[in-house]
Amino acid sequence: MASCFDAIPRYRHSLNTCCIAPQRLIFTRIIVVSIFLIFLPVVAAEPMHTVNLRGGISFTVPLRYGNLRRLGFESETYLGAITCAASDSQTNTNVLLTKHRKPFENSFQALTVYREFVISRLVNHKNVIRLLDAFTPQASEQEFEDVYLVTDRMSGHLGNVPVEYLDHRTLSSLIYQVLSGVYQLHAAGVYHRDLRPSFIGINTDFSLKILNFGLPRTSVEGFVSRPGEFYLHYRAPDAIIGMTFEPGKLDVWSVGCIIGELLRSIVLFPGTDHIDQLVKIFELLGTPESEYMSRVPSANARVFLDNLPRYEGNSFDEIFPDDVFPPTDPGNVNLRATTARDLLAKMLVIDPARRITVEDALRHPYLSVWYDEADVSRGPAAGSYGPEVVEVNRSPAQWKALIYEEIERGTP
């Protein structure tokens, strides 16, 4: 089959026949090739269509994406982001489209979008959401305004799962999958910091994926919490008061809160602000000992903690009695309330020095039925997600160029 390049040598031959000077021949060929390259992106661009959605919102997407339906505002978690369910005719799968309008004009939104690209290149794991596609309907960086991210579409999130439908095998599987995803993120130097039930997508077969990477940090960044930065109910006390310890244990605490909420059908620590959050934690688990208090770096925080009432707290048998767990699995002695409660007791430890690590949690007897050494094999080298990724001191023009370059680079 003849290609468009075939026209060039034929044209050259006709020029040679007419005895045109070599300099003019070279100049003419440059013009022809330049014209071809100018028009090639336009010809190769995938056809798009515009779909009008409720709320006066429109999505301009490739024709492969159809059946667009805007989702509830609960799923639109990031500033300026609009989410839409769709079907992909090329893969015959359901996907989630997220539209970011001029993300480069706001540093937080720009960083959110940029992180999606970076993390998708670092982590490829069945329990972490995949970036399937990314595109913009604008034809050049100068015109660039909108970026669309395409990810797996999940049936729901972990907060929607009724505990009465869970047996111990399913419950232990959910915990294992979350921890496996968290482990792979940590292996890449990524610490989520904002895990919550709605950020863990789940399908009808109980397979799950960790979603959203708006707040991850590296091990070299600070982990002190700032007001309004995250959802407090799943935030570890050591982050709230600014203790420095192994950053991966922040996510372990969050997973413990999520599973505890799933079992009890209520939020474990429903604080209304930073101070109230600490009080709620101490009320349920007890006030830490003085040795813990002495390791709090802020003098003001130590004074505040010392002036709090002393709370005795509750035992884990009281917090998680047998009747909140599924019936014992007769086929596996480890799939029982006692073993599940032991894992929760090791995750929900106020002192991070005594809190279980992700790796040890994956090896806990309650999860032994699912344990696979391949799930705890190291992925990318720790630290791959470096401090340069979270650099926010970029101008809108720099963010624009950076994000546009990622779109052109394509998805993994």
Distance CA 348, CA 40 (A): 58
Q: What is the 3-state secondary structure (H, E, C) of 23-82?
A: HHHHHHHHHHHHHHHHHHHHHHCCCEEEEEECCCEEEEEECCEEEEEECCHHHCCCCCEE
Contact 391, 111 (CB under 8 A): no
Instruction: Write down how long the chain is.
Output: 412
194 counts as catalytic: yes
Contact 36, 7 (CB under 8 A): no
- Render the burial of 130-148: b for 16+ CB within 10 Å, e for the rest: bbbbbbbbeeeeeebeebb
Q: Which of 88, 133, 194, 375 is catalytic?
A: 194
- The enclosing H or E element of 149 equals strand 146-152
Whole-angstrom CA distances from 251 to 190, 215, 309 are 11, 12, 28
206 token code pair: 């109980």
Instruction: Specify the residue for token string 């709605």.
Output: 198
Residues annotated as catalytic (active site), given as ranges: 194
